[in-house]
Amino acid sequence: MDAVLSLGSNLGDREATLEAAVRDLGKVPGLSVTGVSPLYESAAVKPDGVDEDAPRYLNLAVGIRFTGDALTLLDAVNTIENEHGRVRSERWGDRTLDIDVVVFGALEQADARLTLPHPRAADRDFVLAPWLDLDPDAVLPGRGPVSGLLAAIGSTVRRYPAQEASR
Ligand SMILES: Nc1ncnc2c1ncn2[C@@H]1O[C@H](COP(=O)(O)OP(=O)(O)OP(=O)(O)O)[C@@H](O)[C@H]1O
Ligand SMILES: Nc1nc2c(c(=O)[nH]1)N=C(CO)CN2
């Protein structure tokens, strides 16, 4: 099954952690990485808005092909989060590594452990923008083209490191 993962980090050596996490994904049995987006930096989004005092996140999207089922994939990404010192002190707290399953094929489910597509993907420019880099024609099941969803919410993410102004 083709799936898209959203990776984020706002604690520690964010870039090194994300690069290591992508390598770790490639070692998961039955999982092949088919694409890795560029890095984006953005302010931490919290339930009541942007928290400019929290460390800024680096985010990227990874396209994968996975032979197992969705819950097996969730277990695999949770293991990688734990291996990179993920401390679940509070929901939406700062973290060394977060790996969310954005979509798993066209599966739509609200299982106790796993809601697909990710219920907040459509509201997150830090998810949608990197995903578009992987696939400009991406569609969020039940919501429509990712390009339209991103246009609707606007984007505040910035490429990281900042790109030279085009000459
Ligand atoms: N699509 C999904 N991808 C990843 N985790 C999910 C998904 N749907 C449900 N979950 C569940 O959410 C739990 C909590 O995840 P986590 O603590 O990373 O939330 P968060 O990243 O802080 O917030 P958010 O869910 O808004 O990204 C996970 O342990 C997992 O069981
Ligand atoms: N910019 C940004 N903000 C967030 C992020 C994230 O990955 N990037 N993840 C969150 C919980 O999943 C909450 N807020």
Residue-level pLDDT at 166: 73
More confident residue, 12 or 165: 12
**CATH no. for residue 111?**
3.30.70.560
The number of distinct structural domains making up the chain is: 1
Give me ligand 1 centre to Cα 147, in Å: 23
Question: Cα of 119 to ligand 2 centre, how many Å?
Answer: 13
pLDDT tens readout for residues 96-108: 999 999 999 999 9
User: What are the pocket residues of ligand 2 if the criterion is a CB atom closer than 6 Å to any ligand atom?
Assistant: 8, 42, 44-45, 57, 59, 92, 98, 126
Give the mean pLDDT of the chain: 95
Residue identifier of the C-alpha nearest atom 28 of ligand 1: 113
- Each residue's pLDDT tens digit, 125-154: 999 999 999 999 999 999 999 999 999 999
In this model, does residue 90 exceed pLDDT 80?
no
Whether 60 contacts 5, CB under 8 Å: no
pLDDT reading at 22 higher than 80: yes
User: 113 is in which domain, residue-wise?
Assistant: 2-166
The 10s digit of each residue's pLDDT in 25-52 is 999 999 999 999 999 999 999 999 999 9
Ligand nearest the Cα of residue 104 is 1
Predicted pLDDT at 165: 77
Q: Which ligand is nearest to the CA of 101?
A: 1
Catalytic residues: 86, 95, 98, 100
Kindly indicate the confidence band of residue 167, based on its pLDDT and cuts at 50, 70 and 90: low
